Amino acid sequence: MRIGVTYDLKADYLAMGMSEEDAAEFDSEITIEAICGALAGLGHEPVRIGHVRRLAERLVAGERWDAVFNFCEGLKGASREAQVPALLEAFDIPYVFSDPLTLALSLDKAMCKRVVRDAGVPTPDFAVIERPEDVAAVRLPFPLFLKPVAEGSGKGIGRRSKVATPGELKAVAAELLARFAQPVLAETFLPGREFTVGIVGTGADAEVLGVTEIIPKPGYVGDGYGFENKLEGWQEKLDVVPAPPAEAAAAGTVALGAWRALNCRDGGRVDVRCDAAGAPQFIEVNPLAGLRPGHSDLCYIAKYAGLSYQDLISRIMASFLKRHPELALRCAAE
């Protein structure tokens, strides 16, 4: 199959003057080359497209692909991750990973938690702060954990994210509101262990690929797996190790419940953290999880599961092709 690959290249945005944190969600050339190499190794013809505007230009010019491997985070708006799949649906082009509804919903952490909570999946209590005056209405017990409501890659999570007093809550919320120009999510702080769950598949076919635990080292920054802890040299701040079987099973159950409730597709990652009693709770989902070899959490999970990088992409593509049997038949015939 001729498969287009959509992505946001970090180098492009850094050249535009973005900071490393602003561009944290975007992808390196290493990642795009690895994805294209894996697709080629599976017998497909990868075609690099780029970001949503380049996709639009090429669609208007009449170019088409059998399918698109959509790895585009988007640049602007609360539904930025949904823009590429929405455009592809308008042109009736199948694509890998989740649909516009799921991508828009999962990016908004508060809306996502409401859906997951309604499905019976445990998640910490929370409040949404849209303006500084909203702090007075927060009735959650301290300590709390604060983060921007619609960012990824640990952006906005740092040394001051955990707050223990009304004064700290007011100050940190005001900083985040000003810095990110979006609401702030305030959650009950969970003091337990932190896990990342890799998932492949869709709906009833979704399964846990593996579970890793985030083990802080003395150089760990703050009380969460934030931006500074994910930078190059992260090995000095934390270890990423396979979770013990019992903890992995418990975290996997929570993650699968959230994955299915949100209708996530093909592959991704769910973050889980434990409360004081050791019970795992849903934190957030990443339906467009990082795929940088030797760096991204999902790649580490695949490695611990005994899978090569191409094996991981193959599992993701197998889920996509199961959703599109007409393409699976074409692949079998080629």
Range in 32-46, 121-135, 206-220, 308-322 the model is least confident about: 206-220
Average pLDDT of the chain is 93
Q: What is the rounded distance in angstroms from the CA atom of residue 58 to the CA atom of residue 44?
A: 20
Q: Which residues, other chains included, contact 170 with Cβ-Cβ below 8 Å and sequence gap of 6+?
A: 132, 135
Could you tell me where in the chain the CATH 3.40.50.20 domains are found?
2-97
Contact 73, 26 (CB under 8 A): yes
168-200 pLDDT, tens per residue?
999 999 999 999 999 999 999 999 999 999 999
Integer CA distances (angstroms), 324 to 30, 53, 230, 262, 265, in order? 29, 26, 35, 20, 12
Return the half-sphere exposure (C-beta side, CA atoms, 13 A cut-off) of residue 236: 6
Structure tokens at 1: 């199959």
Burial class of 46 by CB neighbour count within 10 A (0 to 12, 13 to 18, 19+): buried
The torsion of the CA quartet 129, 85, 4, 19, rounded to 10 degrees, works out to -20
Could you tell me where in the chain the CATH 3.30.470.20 domains are found?
194-323
Site of tokens 């003057």: 17
**What pLDDT was estimated at residue 238?**
81
125-188 CATH, one of 3.40.50.10860, 3.30.1490.20, 2.30.30.30, 2.60.15.10: 3.30.1490.20
Cα of 315 vs its chain's centroid, Å: 18
268-304 pLDDT, tens per residue?
999 999 999 999 999 999 999 999 998 899 999 999 9
Contact 284, 121 (CB under 8 A): no
| Residue spans of alpha helices (H) in the chain | 10-15, 29-41, 52-60, 83-90, 100-107, 109-118, 166-180, 227-230, 245-261, 297-304, 309-323, 325-333
Burial class of 228 by CB neighbour count within 10 A (0 to 12, 13 to 18, 19+): middle
**What pLDDT was estimated at residue 332?**
74
Q: What is the rounded distance in angstroms from the CA atom of residue 71 to the CA atom of residue 103?
A: 12
70-121 pLDDT, tens per residue?
999 888 888 999 999 999 999 999 999 999 999 999 999 999 999 999 999 9
Contact 243, 251 (CB under 8 A): yes
Length of the chain counted residue by residue: 334
What SS3 state is found at 301? helix
Burial class of 331 by CB neighbour count within 10 A (0 to 12, 13 to 18, 19+): middle
Could you tell me where in the chain the CATH 3.30.1490.20 domains are found?
125-188
pLDDT grade for 229, boundaries at 50, 70 and 90: low
Share of the chain above pLDDT 90, in %: 78
DSSP code string of 113-150? HHHHHHTT-----EEEESSGGGGGG--PPSPEEEEETT
Contact 151, 215 (CB under 8 A): no
What does CATH list as the number for 2-97?
3.40.50.20
What does CATH list as the number for 194-323?
3.30.470.20
